[in-house]
Chains A and B, each alone.
Chain A
Amino acid sequence: MMNIAVDPGLVEQLAHQLSQVVGFIYPNEVEIQWAILIVVYPYITGIVAGAFILASLVKVFNVVEVQPIYRLALLTALAFMLIAGMPLNLHLGHPERSYEIFFTPQPTSAMAMFGFVYLWYLTAVLLVEVWFEYRVHFIQMAERTKGFVGGIYRVLSLFSSDVSPEAIAFDKKASKFVTVIGIPSAFLLHGYVGFIFGSIKANPWWSSVLMPIVFLMSAIVSGIAMVMIVYTVLNLVRKQKIDMVCLNKIGLFLLVAIIVDFALEALDQIHRIYQAEESIHILGELVSGRLFTSLVIVQLLIGMAVPLVLLVIARMQRIGDDLRRLLYFSSALLLQIGIFSMRWNVVIGGQLYSKSFRGLMEYKMEITGIESLMMALVLLALPFIILTFLVKVLPTEKAH
């Protein structure tokens, strides 16, 4: 009888988690299957979708006040999008086989669609949109710089050279067209994540028609708030004046988004509590016990109620611009915490109770390793590093 040698680190983690089990769980449930990396992923794609939706307000809905952050929102979406696939790949048991999702996708699997939706959004929406926005800039830089860097700019411009008014007008029209396609694409990019959870009938914490909508709305909140943060920090670093009309407008959209998001999440829970299906007892124990701090304190109180109040105060007439900026910034930061914890509460929360409805498990997050706190922090830092590079190299003030 041969015994498979199991990684001792895993054994230690699972032994600890088994010792913390309350009640009865199916024995295989002791291992939390989707851990911190799967919390990071929807958080990152959420920001992509949210930042893009904010940018689309300018292009499609002609909200001119928000024009100053248009390019920045695009670049934010791009920076986060480039990292979005990483947590997923790192989480896989066999990342080297991830290409199989493109080669043999199973049409009944929502996850199989991920690869194509991701590729579509990255290329047909984001990259094309960025290209149209910066094409003239690339051409100008190609003329100005020599040698290798000049060559890079020529490649980035795809060897185009037409900067006539008609061409520029076409750039604007095409950009608008891509944005119009981009909005439902963004909905699909992040909505399908909600669908992956919402369609699992085996798990009543996830299984909900509202899940894709809730994910999308919270994505919009986190995306708008992130652009607000990036805009504030960028202008602070560059010692430039912040356009308060723009910031106030963003603040308004953020406020509306928070209210809608909260209403939808509240509706989801009210519906669940009202229907009181069999799972309600263990879910009640979950929310009042293991998930209390992260759900009630962090997500609802610190992550939603407080920023909401700060935003409302910030929109009052009588306060000065400095205080207003501080309130916006604090609110946006707290919202990031709130939306991240919302992802945590959905992903991890759904795995902390047994499908037998008779027990509760625990998740002991590793500090180091692949599926670890360290890796999550690195993945969360990377988009900012990329964004720093992008805003250094590309102009963020509006061109057209």
Chain B
Amino acid sequence: MKIPEQIKRLGAVLGAVIAVVLLLRLVILPADMFSAKPHQAAKVVREMAKPPHYAGMTRCRECHADIYETKYAGHHRNIGCENCHGAAAEHAAAPASTKPPLPTEREFCYTCHAFDPSRPNGFPQISPTEHNPGKKCIRCHDPHDPVPPVTPSECSACHGTIVQAKAASSHATVECTTCHQVAEQHFVDPHSALPTKPRDREFCGQCHGKDATEVAAPKVDMTSHGSAYKCWDCHYPHAPEMKR
């Protein structure tokens, strides 16, 4: 049977299109246009070749070993030099050509040390308006060895959130040291000498038991009230309020 003219015409168009496509694909255009893989490989090479802007602490040590050793012995040991002095790879490559900035303003230290309740418990913080306002931090604290000139006597230096919560609570007049025995060492190297915590219910009974008549505090019958538990299983000691 003869092929209808329409099929011949459409077939010719289709054939021409296929021919052009094949020509482009197999002959004219380079093979790497049809695969992503060689380009991905080239991208990896390109990415690896990018120059770093941060040199890294160990690089700074090569020329500034004395400062590095000082810092390594103190509280700022884990802070990269470039955290405060900015990216210094260019300086490391050509020290004379560019000097990293030396931040001296008070506001610079606020980034880490201004009081913020979301920071973890135990992190040293100050109130910018109360702690030597107007004075540069570096006048008293060497940034490479920031040990305070005077050992902090207040627990609020590192435990501000707890201190503030306690100050607004019914335990406001209870000193931290009433419940926690703190060795001198704790103020110098906190993690090496942790303060003690009360071990048993009877400790709280010293103020809150029915027998503790000389202390002005709410009283409970220590033998029956929550007798299976420690007091702080239910009452947050730093804000022991009962109802909202």
Interface residues of A (CB under 8 A from B): 1, 103-104, 106, 128, 131-132, 135, 158-162, 166-167, 170-171, 174
Q: Does B173 reach chain A (CB closer than 8 Å)?
A: no
User: Complex Cα distance A104/B35, Å?
Assistant: 5
A103's partner among B4, B9, B33 (CB-CB below 8 A) is: B33
Instruction: Give min CB distance, B45 to chain A, whole Å.
Output: 19
Report the bound CA distance from A170 to B13 in whole Å. 18
B5 and A104 contacting across the interface, CB-CB below 8 Å: no
* Minimal beta-carbon separation of A35 from chain B (angstroms): 27
A160 with B34: in contact, given A167-B4, A170-B4 (CB under 8 Å)? no
Interchain nearest-CB distance for A351 vs B (Å): 28
In the bound assembly, the distance between CA atoms of A131 and B9 in angstroms comes to 11
B6: interface (CB < 8 Å): yes
Inside 8 A of B44's CB, which chain A residues have their CB? none
**CB proximity of A317 to chain B, nearest CB, Å:** 45
9 A-B pairs within 8 Å (CB atoms) are namely: A1-B53, A103-B34, A104-B33, A135-B6, A158-B9, A158-B12, A162-B5, A166-B4, A170-B6
Q: Give chain B nearest CB distance to A392 CB in angstroms.
A: 26
The B interface, classified by DSSP as helix, strand, loop or mixed, is helix
Interface residue total, chain B, C-beta cutoff 8 A: 14
Contact with A along B7-22 (1 / 0, CB 8 A): 0011011000000000
Q: Which of B4, B10, B33 contacts A128 (CB 8 A)?
A: B10
Contact with A along B24-53 (1 / 0, CB 8 A): 000000000111100000000000000001
Listed residue (B35, B36, B86) with the most chain A CB atoms within 10 angstroms of its CB: B36
Q: Quick one: closest B residue to A131, CB to CB?
A: B10
Contact B6 A174 (CB under 8 A): yes
Please report which residues of chain B, range 34-83, place their CB below 8 angstroms from some CB of chain A when the two chains form the complex. 34-36, 53
The residue among B5, B9, B12 with the most chain A CB atoms within 10 A of its own CB is B5
By the criterion CB–CB under 8 Å, are B87 and A1 in contact?
yes
Q: Of A1, A131, A167, which is within 8 A of B5 by CB? A: A167
B9: which A residues are within 8 A, CB to CB? 158-160
In the complex formed, the residue of A with least CB distance to B37 is A104
Which B residues touch A103, using CB under 8 A? 33-34
Quick one: which of A1, A104, A106, A160 contacts B6, CB cutoff 8 A? A160
Which A-chain residue is minimally distant from B29 (CB atoms)? A103
CB distance from A333 to the nearest CB of B (A): 38
- Extra contacts, 4 of them, besides A104-B35, A159-B9 (Cβ < 8 A), are A104-B34, A160-B6, A167-B6, A170-B6
How distant is the Cα of A132 from the Cα of B6 in the complex, in angstroms? 8
Cross-chain contact B87 with A160 (CB below 8 angstroms): no
Distance in angstroms from A373 CB to nearest chain B CB is: 36
Inside 8 A of A131's CB, which chain B residues have their CB? 10
How far is B13's CA from A162's CA once the two chains are assembled, in angstroms? 17
Q: Are A106 and B5 in contact (CB under 8 A)?
A: no
Residues of B within 8 A of A104 (CB): 33-36
Report yes or no: A161 in contact with B5, Cβ–Cβ below 8 A: yes
Q: Say how far A179's CB is from chain B's closest CB, in angstroms.
A: 15
Question: Which of A1, A103, A135 has the most C-beta atoms of chain B within 10 angstroms of its own C-beta?
Answer: A103
Least CB distance from A164 to B in Å reads 9
A96 shortest CB reach to chain B, Å: 14
Contact: B36 with A106, CB < 8 Å? yes
CA distance A1 to B87 in the complex (A): 8
In the complex, A133→B166 CA distance in Å? 87
Q: Which residues on A sit within 8 Å (CB–CB) of B13?
A: 158
A106 to B36, CA, bound (A): 9
Q: How far is the CA of A377 from the CA of B87 in the complex (A)?
A: 49
Cα distance A122–B6 when bound, in Å? 19
Chain B residues near A128 (CB-CB < 8 A): 10
Alpha-carbon distance A132/B9, docked complex (angstroms): 11
What residues of chain B lie closer than 8 Å to A160, measured between beta carbons?
5-6, 9
